[in-house]
Structure 1
Amino acid sequence: MMDTTKSPLTLAAVDLGATSGRVILGGVDGGVLKMKHIARFPNAPLHLTEAAPTDRDSAAESAPAEGLYWNITALYAALEDGLREAVRSAAELRSIGIDSWAVDYGMLRAGRLIGLPHHYRDRRTARGVALVHERIDPAELFARNGLQHLDFNTVFQLAAESESGLLDAADRILLVPDLIAYWLTGTARTEATNASTTGLLGLDRRTWDRQLLELAGTDRCQLAELVEPGQTIGELTASATQRLGADRPVKVTAVGSHDTASAVVAVPFASKDSAFISSGTWSLVGLELDEPVVTDAAREANFTNEGGVDGTVRFLKNVSGLWLLSESMRHWHHNATDAQRSADLQTLLVEAEAVTGQVPIFDPSDERFTPPGDMPGRIADWCREHGLRPPTAQAEVVRSILESLAEAYRQTIDAAEALTGVSVETIHIVGGGSQNALLCRLTAQRTGRTVIAGPVEATAIGNLLIQARAVGEVSPDASLSDLRTIVRNSFPVVEYSPHSAGTGESPAPTNAALI
């Protein structure tokens, strides 16, 4: 629900996702959050030829390889354009908050960016895993940082950078939203919820772990001071103020700068016995807790303990998400005739719902599905390797993906219950996947639990609410429960019963929201 009337829109959320970015204005009026989309822009990775990674002491020449990078300068230019339009639309703009995907970073020297940031899907990370695990046992690593094992965790990426010698040139490392904030304000800070995804924080979530920094080879680089959501990072520099057309400096406020941290703020939890699924490119499936769970069982189940807003813990597991659909669509469109390209995802979802035959259930977290490429072909390969008939028609592939995601959600929530003792009765799906009615219904049916879908714009909503509390549009003493009351008052949700096709009607989805 986007209402652009009456209430002054005084806050700007910059929400950077793995495939696109947005600038959204917002403001709280009478206990209701009003929002207006200002700009949307693509965020596509760059495939660049480079030497294959080798040991820094090796004299052997490397054959050319391909690296995957973020086009961070183009992304920054696009978000500045969006902020410029935000300033024109909101004469009383008071604050800007920035969130993005996790783990990736820029390396700087004397305040200048050194090269383009690597994309977390770049294949160099496997070498970093081997390097770190040579220095610390995986069980001890989990006991120190509480993070699930993902090959692209920052600790592994930095170890690969260190071995290559690239870190020798850097004196500062900033995560993506912190880098954007630095370019806007000239102040280097690292927001705590995003820092918690790096694998370099201790379990207290308030301090960098010096031993882990040394293991990753980052002890020579300066990591920025940690800042909590709601604190001020800085004000726009004079040049940024001028470029954006503002008549005075605007402050940049730390929000839950890991996009999932902001999204969870906007989950309208029905009770403490509720799980969340932040559904987008990735699916983040888990519980909001007061304390981390670092048992051997949690490590073996590959759960993570990430910092949430107001000292909470996001106990969750990364499950591959709608990336599987978007990559399948990209592959089909690339190889299609003009007539075939006219079929959009919404059409395929209708056809997928009509599929009556059995489709294979595959493991969406298999590492083969992480890099870009021919996703339908990889699904077919997985099925053949496991003695299953691969899906053939496009609608069957879509149905197989959604059934597999729903089954992965069930397994993850069942495991979270066993690990925490929480009995989950309700599942909240927020983000783009909440508009995918078929995915929501399948999740309710496979998990045997009620699914509450929405709000769609959870990340931007959480971003704006933290800013609203920081600038006094809501009480500075407002709790997360208070903020979630605003969410319930502002945005519709759709309920899906495990025993029915669902109740109510969801807002008309768009392809962009679905993937």
Structure 2
Amino acid sequence: MTKIAAIDLGAESGRVIVATFADGKVELDLINRFTHMPLTADGGLRWDIAALQRHIIDGLTQARIRHGDIAAIGVDTWGVDYALIDAAGELVEAPYCYRDKRTDGVMAEARRTMPDAEIFRRTGIRSMQINTLYQLIAHQRQRPASLTTAQRLLGMPDWLHFWLSGERANEQTFSSTTQLCAVGAKEWDRELIRRFAIPDHLFADIAPAGTVLGTLRPALARECGFTIAPRVVLPGSHDTASAVAAVPGDPATTCFISSGTWSLMGAHGSGALTSPEAHAALISNEIGVGGAPRPLTNIMGLWIVQECRRAWAKAGSEKSYAELTRLASEATPLRAVLDVDDARFLHSSVDSDDMPSRIRQWCAEKKLPAPADLGQTVRFILDGLADAYARVCANFERLSGKRFAAVHVVGGGGENQFLAQLTADACARPVITGPTEATALGNVLTQAVAIGVLASPAEARATLARSIALKHYE
């Protein structure tokens, strides 16, 4: 029996989960779950690093109490955000959240240096203002002294691995989200970095998922109560990479959606899609666990519902996600389709108008009737998501030359049975959901292979298949 911990951080909440590997199966135990939100500080929207560290230490301490010593620990997070560290290994400043408004207008400025099409040809990544490339252009423009002081750029999970182990590494799946790597993300695109006047010394070698960095720092091991320090292992450090590593079934015939705050929809086994047609279809060729390209499209996701719920709770109408989904299922659908990827829906209500107001504004601009109540608003969003999924599925079939027999949804969004049925209806094919905890499963399975608990990725897939139950929607 072997215990492995996943520190799984989304852009709204985080968890520490312990996996037990025994009798050919893997079983997960949720140790703690916590909310983490960016704060407005030092002129920007930034992550509360001290709070994240406290939650992780609490989770690891509780994990040790419940499970004893743990063999390995690995972190996955959302993509694109980064930390700058100085020569002493200290943070130069609190990391920005990708929803900060500093990148507004930066893409237009960047096009004067390099057109979007050339950036896509070089990196294989769709241009989005949240990408690390555009964040760094904004950083260079607004706070150049920080980049001068910094000795190294680490992605958010890379920085957390450094804090845990004392070892610095830029993990490949996360690095592929930055739009700063050459296609395939085996190396940084130094010419692109130079063209945008980003300091070249910030970027060191890229390490593949499955790299064993070392062990938990002695001081942290003592604080958490471990008698034997766990190894610190790079999983697919981008949460989508870990989630897709836990998509069961035949990758040649299935389109996947990793559904949560964002919806990441794509296809396995298509190779990198870098044609002008792929660029026009908003494809990003991120890298999966194992190093192969994993083409996908970013869709705004359940973030819009999350922000509506936050606004309604603030106004005195607090409802659970289950209640909101029930109201949506009972609501009359509008005769319009919400563009869930409209840029106005990107920003947090912390520094923008609330989300329901932005939806009403979108409807007014389109001369469409606005949703009448909470249920109709959520129905409007979910219908918009299902429509987006259908369009993206059709794009992947056209570009890859494949016909997908089903759409497989993993992650927390797969628990929304109403959305799953809307997706099946919109895509005109079966939808399969599960596992809900795909990110944590992909994380620990990668670690298990790395430390020899499982012999190979094939054994990891077999272990996964024996351990999960799926739901089907026609």
TM-score, normalised by the number of residues in structure 1: 0.88
Structure 1 partner of 2:64: 87
Match among 341, 344, 356 for residue 368 of structure 1: 344
Cα deviations across residues 406-464 of structure 1 (Å, max 9, x unaligned)?
00000011011111111111100111111000000000001101000111000000001
* Equivalence map 1:414-493=2 (5 Å): 414-475=394-455, 477-479=456-458, 482-493=459-470
In the other structure, the counterpart of 2:364 is 384
Could you say which residue in structure 1 is the equivalent of 2:220? 240
Which of 29, 33, 43 in structure 1 is aligned with 2:26?
Answer: 33
Structure 2 distance, partners of 1:202, 1:271, is 25
Query: 1:345: how far off?
Result: 2.5
- Provide, for residues 175-206 of structure 1, a one-character-per-residue CA deviation record: whole Å limited to 9, x for no partner: 10010111111110010000001111111321
Question: Which of 31, 42, 48 pairs up with 2:35?
Answer: 42
Deviation sequence 1:7-38 (CA, Å, 0-9, x none)? x4510000011111100000222221111111
Structure 2 counterpart of 1:501: none
Could you tell me which of 182, 195, 200 is aligned with 2:180? Answer: 200
Superposed counterparts of 1:109-508, under 5 Å: 109-110=86-87, 111-164=89-142, 165=144, 166-289=146-269, 291-336=271-316, 340-341=317-318, 343-373=319-349, 374-475=354-455, 477-479=456-458, 482-497=459-474
Say which SS state the counterpart of residue 317 (structure 1) adopts: strand
Shift in CA distance, 474/119, structure 1 to aligned 2, threshold 3 Å: same
Q: For 1:39, what is the secondary structure of its paired residue?
A: strand
Question: Any conservation in 2 of the 1:178–1:190 contact (CA below 8 Å)?
Answer: yes
SS of 1:263's equivalent? helix
1:78 aligns with 2:58: no
Q: Is the 8 A contact 2:76 2:236 kept in 1?
A: yes
Aligned residue type for 2:472:
E
How far apart are the structure 2 equivalents of 1:431 and 1:117?
A: 26
Measure the CA separation in 1 of the matches of 2:177 and 2:251: 26
Does the CA contact (< 8 Å) of 1:188 and 1:225 recur in 2?
no
Which amino acid counterpart does residue 138 of structure 1 have in structure 2? D
Q: Which moved more, 1:396-405 or 1:227-236?
A: 227-236
| Counterpart residue identity of residue 342, structure 2 | D
Distance 1:128 1:381 in 2: 24
Whether the 8 Å CA contact 2:408–2:433 is kept in 1: the answer is: yes
Shift in Å at residue 313 of structure 1? 1.6
**Counterpart amino acid of residue 284 in structure 1:** L
Q: Deviation at 1:289?
A: 2.4
1:324 shift after superposition: 0.7
- Mean Cα deviation higher: 285-294 or 302-311: 285-294
The corresponding residue for 1:504 is none
Structure 2 counterpart of 1:48, one-letter code:
A
TM-score by length of 2: 0.95
The 2-side partners of 1:182 and 1:138 are apart by 33
Identify which range, 195-204 or 242-251, moves more after superposition.
242-251
Q: CA RMSD in A?
A: 1.5
Query: Is the CA contact 1:200–1:208 (under 8 Å) kept in the aligned structure 2?
Result: yes
Deviation, 1:311, is 2.2
The aligned counterpart of 1:68 is 45
Structure 1 position 39, deviation (Å): 1.2
* Contact 1:275–1:287 (Cα < 8 Å) also in 2: yes
Deviates further, 173-182 or 24-33: 24-33
Deviation at 1:357, TM superposition (A): 4.7
Inter-partner Cα distance in structure 1 for 2:154 and 2:239: 16
For residues 149 and 273 of structure 1, the distance between their equivalents in structure 2, rounded to whole angstroms, comes to: 28
Change (3 A) 1:133 1:334: same
Percentage of matched positions with identical amino acids: 37
**Structure 1: how far apart are the matches of 2:78 and 2:52?**
13
Superposed displacement of residue 137, structure 1: 1.6
Which amino acid is 1:163 matched to? R
Q: What is the identity, as a one-letter code, of the residue corresponding to 1:189?
A: A
Q: Say which SS state the counterpart of residue 227 (structure 2) adopts.
A: coil
CA 1:357–1:193: 2 relative to 1, 3 Å: closer
Checking the alignment, whether the CA contact within 8 Å between 1:270 and 1:426 is kept in structure 2 is no
Aligned residues: 467
- One-letter code of the match for 1:90? H
Aligned to 2:112, the other structure's residue is in SS state helix
Whole-angstrom distance in 2 between the partners of 1:217 and 1:232: 33
User: Mean alpha-carbon deviation: is it higher for 209-218 or for 117-126?
Assistant: 209-218
Displacement, 1:139? 1.0
Give the Cα separation in 2 of the matches to 1:271 and 1:205: 22
Structure 1, residues 289-312: CA drift from partner, whole Å, max 9, x if none? Answer: 252110001111111000001122
Distance 2:10 2:184 in 1: 27
* 2-structure distance, mates of 1:398, 1:199: 33
Q: Secondary structure at the match of 2:472?
A: strand
